[in-house]
Amino acid sequence: MAALRWQSAVDFGVLAVAIFLLLRWSLEARALRLALSILILRLGALLTDQLGLLITSWVLDAAAVIALLVLMVAFQPELRRAVMRLDWPGRAAHERQLPVLAALSAAAFELARVRCGALLVLVQDDSVAELVTGGVPIAARVSPELLQAIFRKDSPIHDGAVVVDGDQLTRAGAILPLTQRRVPDEYGTRHRAGLGLSERSDANVIVVSEERGEVTLMREGRGEPMRDADALVSALKTEPAADSRKPGQRRQAMRLTGTVVAASLALAALVWGMTFLLPGKSVRVQTVPVEFTNVPTGLAIQAQSVDSLQVWLRGTDFILGSVNLADLVARCDLSHAHGGVNVVHLNASVFDTPPGIRVEGLAPHELRVTLAGQ
C-alpha cells in the first residue's frame, strides 16, 4: 500500500511535469534526440544497477552527464531564452524588450529612406538555429547605428539577414530558407526569404525593400506593410492571436501537445517504476518504535511486552540514503482489543514504508499489550 501514499502521487506528478517541460523545450530548440538520449541513458543506468552490472551502470551514468553538459553548452542560447521566459513579472521582460523593438524599427525605416535593402530576424520562442545557415557570428547589443552599418552597400555582410535574439545581435549575413508558395509579383528574394522563415518558425522578420523603400513585417507566413516606425513597434509588441492560425496548424499543435503529454507520462512511469518498484540489493536493519492506534474508549495501556521492533528493510542505496528512516513507526491497531492481555500479530502491514523500500523481516513477530479500565 506504500505506493498509494500521497507523497508517491506528488513525486510522480513532479517527475511527469519535469519531463514534459524538458520534451516541450527540446522540441522548440530542436534538441529532442539529445534530450531523449539523456532520459534513455538514465533509464539504462537504473536498470543495469538493478541487474548488478556496476561498471555498465557507471558508464551509462557518465554518458548521461556528458550528454547533459553537451545539451547545456550546445543549446545555451535556447536555454537562456527559456529562462528569460520565466521572468516575473512578465511586464518587466516586455518593457526591457521595447528598446530593442524601437532600435529595429528606427533602423528599418532609416534604411528604407535611403533605399538600402535589409532583412532583420527577431527570434521568438522557436529556435531558428537549424533554419538559418551561413553568416558571421556576432555578439553585440542591438542599436540602429550598428544595423545601418551592417547593411551599407560597402559592408561585406550586407547581403543577408541579421538575427536578433533577445537584446543581442547574434549573427549577420545569414541565409534564410525561401518560401515555396506563390508570392506577389513585387516580392523579391528578401521577401521570399522572410516568408520562408516565418512559415517554419514563430520568428518576426522585417524586410526592407531596396527598390521601393518599403518596410514589411513577415509573421506566420504573411506579409504586412508598415507605414512608419511606431506602427512597426506596435505590431512587434502585439502577439498574434491563437485563433489566427489555420485549423490544420491548430490541430497539428494539439496533436503534438497530446503526444508530448503521453510520452511524458510513459517516461515518468518508467523512471518512477525503475526507481521505486524494482527490488533493491541493500538491506538495512532499523530499530522502529511501536505506536498503538484505536485504543478502545475506557481502556488504557498498562503494560506492553516490547517498546520497539527490529525491522529488515530492502531497497537501493539511493533510496535508503534519501529517506529518513528514523521517522518509521510500527502502528498496531487495537480497535478489536479488550481488557486484559491482548496478543498482537505483527507483519509488514504495520509499517508505512516509502516507495522503493520493502520490509524483508521483523522481530519479534508478536507482542502482548495489557489493557485495563481507566
Indicate if 97 and 231 belong to the same structural domain. yes
* Percent above pLDDT 90 for the chain: 22
Distance CA 112, CA 180 (A): 26
Q: Residue 304 is placed in which grid cell?
A: 506492553
Indicate if 149 and 95 belong to the same structural domain. yes
Average pLDDT over residues 350-369: 89
Distance CA 328, CA 351 (A): 7
Average pLDDT over residues 49-59: 83
Residue, of 93 and 45, whose pLDDT is higher = 45
Residue 85 lies in a domain: no
CA 64 to chain centre: 17
Indicate if 251 and 230 belong to the same structural domain. no
Q: Residue 292 is placed in which grid cell?
A: 498503538
- CATH number for the domain spanning 307: value is 2.170.120.30
Indicate if 124 and 12 belong to the same structural domain. no
Q: Is the pLDDT of residue 82 over 70?
A: no
CA distances from 205 to 27, 60, 162, 201, 370 (A): 22, 43, 10, 10, 83
Indicate if 122 and 172 belong to the same structural domain. yes
Indicate if 116 and 182 belong to the same structural domain. yes
Indicate if 109 and 213 belong to the same structural domain. yes
3-state SS class at 342: strand
Mean pLDDT of the chain: 83
Q: Find the domain containing 8 and state its range.
A: 2-74+247-276
Indicate if 330 and 223 belong to the same structural domain. no
Average pLDDT over residues 331-339: 92
Indicate if 198 and 227 belong to the same structural domain. yes
User: Under a CB-based contact definition with an 8 Å cutoff, are residues 330 and 348 in contact?
Assistant: no
Q: What is the pTM of this model?
A: 0.53
Indicate if 232 and 259 belong to the same structural domain. no
DSSP string, 28-62: HTT-HHHHHHHHHHHHHHHHHHHTT-HHHHHHHHH
| Residue owning grid cell 479500565 | 373
Distance CA 354, CA 201 (A): 46
Indicate if 337 and 358 belong to the same structural domain. yes
Q: H or E segment at 95?
A: helix 90-113
The tens digit of pLDDT for each residue in 136-192 reads: 888 888 888 998 999 888 888 888 899 988 888 888 988 888 888 888 878 888 888
Q: What burial class does residue 243 get, using C-beta atoms within 10 Å of its C-beta: 0-12 exposed, 13-18 middle, 19+ buried?
A: exposed
Count of CB atoms situated within 10 Å of the CB of 318: 14
Q: At what angle do helices 54-74 and 76-85 cross, to 10 degrees?
A: 80
Residue 20 lies in a domain: yes
pLDDT at 249: 52
Residue 306's φ and ψ, nearest 5 degrees, are: -140, 150
At 1, is the pLDDT very low, low, confident or very high (cuts 50, 70, 90)?
A: very low
